[in-house]
Amino acid sequence: MAKTHSQILQIAIPKPLYSHFDYLPPVGIDTKQLCPGMRLRVPFRTHTYVGILLAVVDSSSLPDSKLKVAHKLLDSTPVLPKESLNLLRWASHYYHHPLGEVISTALPLALGKGQSATLQAFSGWILTKEGLTYYLDKLLKKTARQQTILSLLQQYPQGLTQTTIANNLSNATPTLRSLEKKGWIKSQVIVNIPKPKNTASISPPLQLNTAQNEVVNQVCNKLQQFYPCLLDGITGSGKTEVYLQIIQKVLDKGLQALVLIPEINLTPQMVNRFQQRFTESIAVLHSKLNDNERLQTWLLARDGHAPIVIGTRSAVWIPLARPGIFIVDEEHDQSYKQQDHFRYSARDIAVVRAQHAQVPILLGSATPSLDSLYNAQQQRYQHFILPERAGIAVHPTFHIVNMRQQPYQSSHLSKQLKKAIGQRLEKHQQILLFINRRGYATTLICYQCGWIAYCQNCDARLTYHETHKNLQCHHCGNISPPESHCPKCQHSKLYLQGQGTERIEEHLQKQFPNARILRIDSDSTRRKHAMHKMLKRIHEGDADILVGTQMLAKGHHFPNVTLVGIINIDGGLYGIDFRAPERMAQLLVQVAGRAGRGEEQGEVIIQTFHPDHPLLIRLIRQGYASFAQAALEERQKAKFPPYTRLALLRAESTEVQPAMDFLHAAKIQTQQFNCQEVELWGPVTAPMEKRAGWYRAQLLLQTTQRKHLHRLLSQWLPQIPSSTKKIRWSLDVDPQDLL
């Protein structure tokens, strides 16, 4: 047969491969029907995959005989709008990650599996203009049934499904028909089932203070342009109120808002605030949605039926028909960076999205990242500062306790901290103790021979958990029973060293037998609703001392907490990662921010073995902004981001040596590209060399200008051999940690 296909389909496949693949159209499909963004099922090696059409072109580098025919076209309209494809292409390019995998990160699982992309729709009813303005009291008593329906629909101007109406009124159809005849209602396909909402519970907008007003005005004046803003204000300074009022303006224009938050399940109050303000339905992408619910939410947003979308990291990819504003709350939070596979930063992607869409973006935080502060200093972002609100509690006072001067004791609670706890208990105030470790003890050790219980898969000590009476590896999840004898010298007595939340809890219970203690960590809150119940107890005053991990630091308001104790801050002061001090400061400010938000002044006690650390002193005496300035100066001196750009090439292998050898070979390859502007450091073994059975090494790339890094990576990566079962590699552009 003569060559009738002059048209070639370029398709992205969800595989870690840098190129796209060429196919011929499925049998019986005219290429005129095809648009980029549609899905096709295609054969690839021994499997079939759901791929995304990128383009239809005239020629292929493959000979005709090698071209395979796509099996099936799955969509009649593109699942991914043009804007999304552009964003995904940009991300693939920026992070040097295969486009097929980038797309599969962004696509709901159901679509990746080939499920149909249609929105569930229901028959329903909506008020006409006449119906909307009809005064109910004009209806006579005998039309009580009509009155019921009209008043119901007046509460839900976006319409109600037939089913919902029938639930409120039996045998509703004749009444609906007669209302339709009068021209007061009309039938409508309803895609969004509005949740019953009591309009009486809607809380009106607050009168903004001057600083808030300034932000809202500036942003609302620029709704049609890219306007990146850093909203810098301590917790309680009114950032959320600013978001809400800007969103209202965006909705008034018929546009959509996308709000990213770090955690939904732990901080339900954020979503509640939104639900209390808007009558519009709010699409929340949380981890409890099943695949189909997630798909439906995604489609609602894509087709413009969801005016407000709230979600965590992956929600940054959700397409919007009419984007009006992007908001990233707690922009400094590490959870915005995906730490495996496709290592993107949702915060950075959101900024690029806003730029593509030419709309404003707000990055909000009480402790902005040094990256964003730097961008503000460089005038890339508008910097808005919300000063502390008048009338609310004054700053807490800080005390540093030098742990070197403490007599040795196993509890790691200094006498100053114990005394302060006692005083607060007497006054019936709450105390929050922060410790960055869950479990009971960080080390199981034999004092006879020095043996320590290590994970067999990782270079990490096992943590002893008293509640489960077992040893756990916090890096690979390995669980084992605790030894009763030293496996090395058979000594029968082993000791538990180091502190976790469980041990602090036990110790406090001995010290303060009458106190009600609540431990809050990922173990104690694992069960459904557990966190909710604990928060309730705290708010009802049914707990005196809260012991917890950083889970407690995020976004909670505990008005009766007047004392915060930080058991040990030292990991942050001398961590191996250059971002460690920044993280320490953010955590400290966030934890300290829980104290004294009521009437009484709060007090923060920080235990440390390094009481003279200059950054710690600066933070405590002069505040976060001053700390950030000093930390930025250190970064500049050390040539670290944001003053330079980094990428990390990681390799891991099942044996000790291959990962290092692999990186050495890769490094030598770079010489041919003649790229002196990029410095290569290493390869070195990773700070935790062995993790989950893999030996890890890394090669750091550093440059002053991104374009050099970019050029090198584009030439180099395609030449690096693919991962195998024994050795695998990954690239992390803008790594958030060097571990």
Q: Residues interacting with ligand ADP, by CB under 6 A?
A: 206-209, 212, 233, 235-241
Between 209 and 654, CB nearer to Zn ion: 654
Contact 168, 125 (CB under 8 A): no
The item of Zn ion, ligand ADP, none sharing an interface with residue 239, based on CB under 5 to 8 Å by kind, is: ligand ADP
Q: How far is the CB of 113 from Zn ion (least distance, A)?
A: 32
Contact 515, 544 (CB under 8 A): yes
Nearest to 440 by CA among 511, 528, 521: 521
Q: How far is the CB of 365 from ligand ADP (least distance, A)?
A: 9
β-sheet with 308-311: strand ranges across: 282-285, 308-311, 256-260, 323-329, 360-365, 227-233, 382-386
Q: How far is the CB of 489 from Zn ion (least distance, A)?
A: 3
Between 91 and 458, CB nearer to Zn ion: 458
Contact 497, 440 (CB under 8 A): no
Nearest to 468 by CA among 437, 444, 502, 504: 502
Between 153 and 462, CB nearer to Zn ion: 462
Q: How far is the CB of 488 from Zn ion (least distance, A)?
A: 5
Residue 476 binds Zn ion, judged by CB under 5 A: yes
Q: How far is the CB of 708 from Zn ion (least distance, A)?
A: 38
Collect all residues with Cβ–Cβ distance below 8 Å to 645 and sequence separation of at least 6. 702, 703, 704, 705, 706, 709, 734
Q: How far is the CB of 559 from ligand ADP (least distance, A)?
A: 10
Residue 688 binds Zn ion, judged by CB under 5 A: no
The item of Zn ion, ligand ADP, none sharing an interface with residue 499, based on CB under 5 to 8 Å by kind, is: none
Q: How far is the CB of 494 from Zn ion (least distance, A)?
A: 8
Between 238 and 565, CB nearer to ligand ADP: 238
The item of ligand ADP, Zn ion, none sharing an interface with residue 455, based on CB under 5 to 8 Å by kind, is: Zn ion
Contact 735, 646 (CB under 8 A): yes
Alpha-carbon distance of 686 to 480, in angstroms, equals 25
Q: How many CA atoms lie within 13 A of 625 on its CB side?
A: 9
Q: List binders of Zn ion among 452-471 (CB under 5 A).
A: 455, 457-458
The item of Zn ion, ligand ADP, none sharing an interface with residue 458, based on CB under 5 to 8 Å by kind, is: Zn ion
DSSP H helical segments within 182-290, as ranges?
210-220, 239-252, 268-277
Q: How far is the CB of 164 from Zn ion (least distance, A)?
A: 51
Nearest to 517 by CA among 507, 531, 527, 530: 507
The item of Zn ion, ligand ADP, none sharing an interface with residue 208, based on CB under 5 to 8 Å by kind, is: ligand ADP
Between 130 and 655, CB nearer to Zn ion: 655
Contact 353, 222 (CB under 8 A): no
Residue 478 binds Zn ion, judged by CB under 5 A: yes
Selected range binding Zn ion among 45-53, 157-165, 448-456, 498-506, rule: CB under 5 A: 448-456
Q: How far is the CB of 393 from ligand ADP (least distance, A)?
A: 12
Q: How many CA atoms lie within 13 A of 202 on its CB side?
A: 14
Q: How far is the CB of 388 from ligand ADP (least distance, A)?
A: 10
Q: How far is the CB of 229 from ligand ADP (least distance, A)?
A: 14
Residue 489 binds Zn ion, judged by CB under 5 A: yes
Query: Crossing angle of helices 624-638/370-377, nearest 10°?
Result: 90
Query: Of 446, 587, 649, 651, which lies in the binding site for Zn ion, with binding defined by CB under 5 A?
Result: 446
The item of ligand ADP, Zn ion, none sharing an interface with residue 401, based on CB under 5 to 8 Å by kind, is: none
The item of Zn ion, ligand ADP, none sharing an interface with residue 136, based on CB under 5 to 8 Å by kind, is: none
The item of Zn ion, ligand ADP, none sharing an interface with residue 486, based on CB under 5 to 8 Å by kind, is: Zn ion
Between 26 and 236, CB nearer to ligand ADP: 236
Nearest to 178 by CA among 131, 141, 138, 129: 131
Q: List binders of Zn ion among 238-267 (CB under 5 A).
A: none
Between 161 and 472, CB nearer to Zn ion: 472
Between 8 and 494, CB nearer to Zn ion: 494
Alpha-carbon distance of 566 to 401, in angstroms, equals 10
The item of Zn ion, ligand ADP, none sharing an interface with residue 233, based on CB under 5 to 8 Å by kind, is: ligand ADP
Query: Of 286, 418, 491, 539, which lies in the binding site for Zn ion, with binding defined by CB under 5 A?
Result: 491
The item of ligand ADP, Zn ion, none sharing an interface with residue 448, based on CB under 5 to 8 Å by kind, is: Zn ion
Alpha-carbon distance of 80 to 408, in angstroms, equals 62
DSSP letters spanning 680-721: EEEEEEEEEEEETTEEEEEEEEEESSHHHHHHHHHHHGGGSP
Q: Tokens 């020629």 identify what position?
A: 59
Strands 308-311 and 282-285: parallel
Between 594 and 645, CB nearer to ligand ADP: 594
- Evaluated on CA atoms 212, 215, 221, 224, the torsion sign reads negative
Is the preceding omega at residue 642 within 30 degrees of 0, hence cis?
yes
Residue 486 binds Zn ion, judged by CB under 5 A: yes
Q: How far is the CB of 698 from Zn ion (least distance, A)?
A: 19
Nearest to 377 by CA among 67, 25, 643, 170: 643
Q: Which residues pair with 49 in a beta bridge?
A: 42
Report the interface residues with Zn ion, using CB under 5 A.
446, 448-449, 451, 455, 457-458, 473, 475-476, 478, 486, 488-489, 491
